[in-house]
Amino acid sequence: MKRELLISVDLKVVEYCPIKLKQYDSTKLTFNVLSDSLEINLNDLSAELIFTKPDNTVVIQNCEIEENKVVADLLPDCLRLSGNSKIEVALKKENETFSSFFIPIKIEASGKENIKSSNTPNYIEDLEEAIEKEKERQKNENNRIAAEEEREDNEEQRNSAENERIDAEEVRKNSETERIEAENERINAEEERENSETERVKAETIRNNNETNRINTFNNMTAQIHPTYRYYFFVESEITGDSPFEIPANYIKDANVLEVYYNGERLIKASTSDTQGHYYEVGETNAVSNQIQLTSDWEALPGDVFEFVIKGVYTNETTT
């Protein structure tokens, strides 16, 4: 609790009525600064309060500018002596200073235990100051305790996070170990696959050679029985396994007299009940036919070429 006074100060006025203050009281002075009865704009200005004590010693203190008013919480030294005093408000901007005329102050003596006033702090002021310092010390101590508790909480959270990091790192290491083991297994399996593939290629080469020899032998045998004729068919529109299509010559179904090549590659004959080959012969067994049909999972596209190799010449009157 403090004494608060609102004082109008006109920089053109040279005389003021005395203002009464109380010795030792906490006092706040607020000045409304005018010039010829018009309020002055205090923006970009600073202010000082010049307090001349009853013993003619001077106390100068800086003031705050709040809501275009000069505000000063009087220093305890200003009201330490009772008697007649005076104040002035000084406004500053850069190197310029403009002050009010003196405002008379009457400081009424305090009756605190009939203590004789002096220009130095008395023991009541010392006690009040000690109480304020103790309050400040307790406040600082409470702040220190709160900060220490916060530090301990943060340290506990840090330790918890560190333990989680250690556990996660352990999981990561285990996962990395498992990944390395799995990678080694993959590498071994890949080596086995490559070895198996090498063996398969060798076996396939042998099979192809044997198949070539078989075909050559068979062709030599059949060439002695029937002459061989070749017919070419150029695909103009897409052919699928949905329906048969005509070829450029007749053959005997299931008599092993027909070979079909697609873009230079020999196709494999299939039965009508599976898709293990590329095509199957259409018609009645041992009857003349001029149609074949692709398996359902296969197709021929425009621009592709079929080559039909037929051993012999057959008509509808042909008998076997």
Written in H, E and C, the secondary structure of 61-130 is EEEEEECCEEEEECCHHHHCCCEEEEEEEEEEECCEEEECCCEEEEEECCCHHHCCCCCCCCHHHHHHHH
Provide φ and ψ at 200, rounded to 5°.
Answer: -65, -40
pLDDT band (50, 70, 90) for residue 239? very high
Provide φ and ψ at 93, rounded to 5°.
Answer: -145, 115
Mean pLDDT of 199-216: 88
pLDDT band (50, 70, 90) for residue 113? very low
Range name among 89-93, 115-119, 147-151 with the lowest pLDDT average: 115-119
pLDDT per position as a tens digit, 250-301: 999 999 999 999 999 999 998 766 678 899 999 999 999 999 999 988 899 9
Can you give the pLDDT at residue 274?
67
Can you give the pLDDT at residue 81?
92
- The answer to whether the CB of 101 falls within 8 A of the CB of 86 is no
* Topology adopted by domain 3-111: Immunoglobulin-like (2.60.40)
- The answer to whether the CB of 3 falls within 8 A of the CB of 22 is yes
Can you give the pLDDT at residue 227?
81
- Nearest of 241, 256, 255 to residue 292 by alpha carbon: 241
pLDDT per position as a tens digit, 298-311: 899 999 999 999 99
Can you give the pLDDT at residue 298?
87
306 by DSSP, 3-state: which?
strand
Can you give the pLDDT at residue 320?
46
Beta strands in the chain (DSSP E): 3-10, 19-22, 27-35, 38-39, 46-52, 58-66, 69-73, 83-93, 96-99, 103-108, 228-234, 239-240, 245-252, 258-262, 265-266, 279-281, 288-294, 299-300, 305-311
Can you give the pLDDT at residue 147?
93
Range name among 28-42, 57-71, 259-273 with the lowest pLDDT average: 259-273
Q: Is 104 exposed, middle or buried (0-12, 13-18, 19+ CB in 10 A)?
A: middle
pLDDT band (50, 70, 90) for residue 316? confident
Mean pLDDT of 177-195: 93
Can you give the pLDDT at residue 224?
54
What does the buried/exposed string (b/e) look like for 18-43 if buried means 16 or more CB atoms within 10 Å of the residue's CB? ebebebbeebebbbebbeeeeebebe
pLDDT band (50, 70, 90) for residue 54? very high
Is pLDDT larger for residue 128 or for residue 312? 312
